[in-house]
Amino acid sequence: MAAIRIAKLRKVYQKGVRKKRVESLKGIDLEVEKGAIFGFVGPNGAGKSTTIRILTGLLRPTEGMAWINERPAGTPSSRQGVGYLPENPSFYGYLSLKDLLSLVADIRNVPRGEKDAAIKELMDMVGLQEAGGRQIKTFSKGMVQRAGIAAALMGDPDLLIFDEPMSGLDPFGRDLVARLFRDLQAKGKTIFFSTHILPDIEALCDRVGILVEGRVKYTGSVQDTLFSEEKCVEMTIRLPLGTELEEVPFRGSPGILWEKDCFYKVEVNEGDLPSDIEEISRSGGSIIKIERKRKSFEELYKELASELPAQRYGGIQSDR
């Protein structure tokens, strides 16, 4: 049974005084297996948040259907066992973090005898142990984001739907949330999150869906998309001082990816690897690292979005 299933989903908005029709989603199909971390990637305005709001019942589709655990999205039963983080979480500023989590625990029907332990555990999980008594209005944006994640986890939901969960987080917060995602998956949770930061997809996800102008242009395994069909490897090597790369008799013509001082990163055919390693050794060089050539999601996205003007997919960030 799929955790999330979407079929022929369309959403049309009417904007402005002239009620101009704007089609945000153009008949998308998507399926998320239970226990997966699924990344939903696309530029700002691609339709990611619209999809999530339909899944959580905050919007109604114009056409098509969506299901949460085989229950129609938007129904009360479909929201049971779901934790949700909106794109821009906002809370009553006068509440402390403990007050907020206590309120969410009551809404989630957490037993009174378990509530204090659940609040403490969640504050620990998101790194806000020392901020429990502070008013939320004193929090930074990253702290508010982590507070929202803690609130979404209250009640131990099996499915987590997060809209841009890494937004506003500093490097510490990003690393904490990434480790949290992996721990939650190890416990059997399903995580569906949207982002426009590609390394988050590469580092965390089992599968990915790429949304381009309201259409799902690609879904698949992260591993299937990372590695090129070409049988190429990338080698980082160090040559003796005074030895040029051209002096090493590679079997083919290596593609130079970068060079600095006596270090080189080159691309060679996989079949030539044993011979090339031997020649590097004979030249007095050493191998620092060998890895399969892989395609980044930035490259994949730009291929899929190649028909769009540059400014339309400028919202994708490589963080590199």
Side chain identity, residue 264: Y
| All domains in the chain, ordered by first residue | 2-226 (3.40.50.300), 232-292 (3.30.70)
pLDDT at 144: 96
Q: Residue 102 pLDDT > 70, yes or no?
A: yes
Q: Which among 167, 208, 204, 201 is positioned nearest to 185, based on CA atoms?
A: 204
Annotate 187-227 with DSSP letters as a single string: TT-EEEEEESBHHHHHHH-SEEEEEETTEEEEEEEHHHHHB
Confidence of residue 84 (pLDDT cuts 50, 70, 90): very high
Q: Residue 185 pLDDT > 60, yes or no?
A: yes
pLDDT digits (tens, 9 = 90+) for 223-276: 776 665 567 888 899 999 888 888 888 888 888 888 888 899 988 888 888 898
pLDDT digits (tens, 9 = 90+) for 19-41: 788 899 999 999 999 999 999 98
Of residues 18 and 122, more confidence is placed in 122
Radius of gyration for the chain, computed over Cα atoms and rounded to the nearest angstrom: 24
Annotate 13-59 with DSSP letters as a single string: EEETTTTEEEEEEEEEEEEEETT-EEEEE--TTSSHHHHHHHHTTSS
pLDDT digits (tens, 9 = 90+) for 118-163: 999 999 999 999 999 999 999 999 999 999 999 999 999 999 999 9
The chain-wide mean pLDDT, for the chain, equals 88
